């Protein structure tokens, strides 16, 4: 895996949050990642998605993780 992209989704539209691929790094014991979304809509239920990208450029989606509106 080269890395991943973070998206939020409201209705049918997914919006990529990071400008550049978040590099996966190399660790035999695994890694922890975090991403702070400062642009999340305040009064709208959304879901987050992660799209991993492998060395061939193929992607795989993980999610959704729903977040209720505030």
pLDDT, tens digit, for every residue of 56-69?
999 999 999 998 87
User: Does residue 7 contact residue 35 with C-beta atoms inside 8 Å?
Assistant: no
Q: pTM above the 0.85 mark?
A: no
Q: Sign of torsion, CA 20 3 15 40?
A: negative
3-state secondary structure labels for all residues of 3-59: EEEEEEEECCEEEECCCCCEECCCCCCCCCCCCCCCCCCCCCCEEEEEEEECCCCCE
- pLDDT, one tens digit per residue, over 19-55 is 999 988 776 667 788 888 888 877 888 899 999 999 8
pLDDT for 6 beyond 80: yes
């Amino acid at each position: 895996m080269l890395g991943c992209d973070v998206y939020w989704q409201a209705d049918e539209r997914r919006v990529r949050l990071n400008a550049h691929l978040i590099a996966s790094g190399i660790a035999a014991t695994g890694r922890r990642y975090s991403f702070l979304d400062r642009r999340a809509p305040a009064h709208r239920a959304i879901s987050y998605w992660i799209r991993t990208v492998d060395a061939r450029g193929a992607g795989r989606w993980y999610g959704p993780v729903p977040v209720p509106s505030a």
